[in-house]
Copies of this chain bind each other. A is one copy, B any other.
Amino acid sequence: MPLHTDRGYESQLGQLRAHLLEMGGLVEDQIAQAIRCLTERDRALAGVTIERDHTVNRLDVEIDDLSLKLLALHQPAARDLRLITTALKITTDLERIGDLATHIAERAVELASEPPFTPCVDIPAMASLASSMVHRSLDAFVREDVELALGVCSSDDEIDKLHAELFRNLLTIMGKDPRSISSTMRQLFISKYLERIGDHATNIAEMVIFMVKGRSIRHLDTVPREL
């Protein structure tokens, strides 16, 4: 029996998928909490978001270790090899998403120390979209579902558009009322963080397509995705 079909191997592969989903669930929670922290001016909640980042970081290291163990002990081939190396790359993106959620919470705490202001209505909508992109990209990974992954790539255009609109609106507000610069800038950063979360989810989706199809769709367009 080849090494890579034994029961320990299959169970470790299952563990790898489960760890990635757990990490994904955690960063989704982090995004939701950070936005609640913004809309409800709840500084205590920011502490929870930032604290949760330690668990995300622990999972990042655990998944890397597990992937290396799988590669070293079982020498998987073809599709499994692509699955494990994709997992190795996905953790980098998930870890950055966790960092970005933490930065949103940090900006929300700063905003809560300033006089009350009307938060930009588009931010929670952008956050929902970003969070759903993360969720769908990991679902696509676990199910090896190319269609689902392609859907995430389309959502990226949508979130980029939302960010561009918000950027223009906030710039106008700043120009009209220089006293609002500080709070407006922070909202602008939050919008940028959400747009980058969308980019990371898109990276994951593109890697899933490569994993399933065995060929890369990255870099097929000339338009950079980041502002």
Q: Which residues of A contact B (CB under 8 A)?
A: 50, 53-54, 57-58, 60-61, 64, 67-68, 71-72, 75, 77-78, 81-82, 85, 88-89, 92-93, 99-100, 102-103, 106, 171, 174-175, 178, 181-182, 185, 189, 203, 216, 218-219, 222, 224-227
26 A-B residue contacts at CB 8 Å?
A50-B222, A54-B219, A54-B222, A57-B218, A60-B218, A60-B219, A64-B216, A68-B85, A71-B71, A71-B81, A72-B77, A72-B81, A85-B85, A85-B88, A88-B88, A92-B93, A99-B225, A99-B226, A103-B224, A103-B226, A103-B227, A174-B181, A175-B178, A178-B178, A181-B181, A189-B227
Contact partners of A53 in chain B: CB under 8 A: 224
Contact partners of A226 in chain B: CB under 8 A: 99-100, 103
Q: Is the pair B81, A218 in contact by a Cβ cutoff of 8 Å?
A: no
Q: Is the pair A171, B182 in contact by a Cβ cutoff of 8 Å?
A: yes
